[in-house]
Amino acid sequence: MILSISGVVLLGIVVFLFFRKDGLKASHMLVCALFGFYLASTALAPSIKAGGESLASLLGGIKF
């Protein structure tokens, strides 16, 4: 739950900053699509959420 909420907040801020800038590029469109999947309750949302969680655990496991 915490990862989901923080992911939505982070992606929301990134989308807002992209809109404040010149315009959206292809990479920006991908972030906006991810933001939409986190907010929506579609059949694909659990798969995308699981991918985000596994990415977060992968990044969390990196030791410097």
Q: What is the predicted pLDDT for the residue at 2?
A: 55
End-to-end CA distance of the chain: 27
Per-residue pLDDT at 4 = 59
Per-residue confidence (pLDDT) for residue 38, from 0 to 100: 73
Per-residue pLDDT at 41: 63
pLDDT value at position 10?
81
The reported pLDDT for the residue numbered 5 is: 66
Torsion angle of alpha carbons 6, 9, 11, 17, nearest 10°? -140
pLDDT tens for each residue of 10-58: 877 887 787 777 677 778 778 877 877 777 766 777 887 788 889 888 8
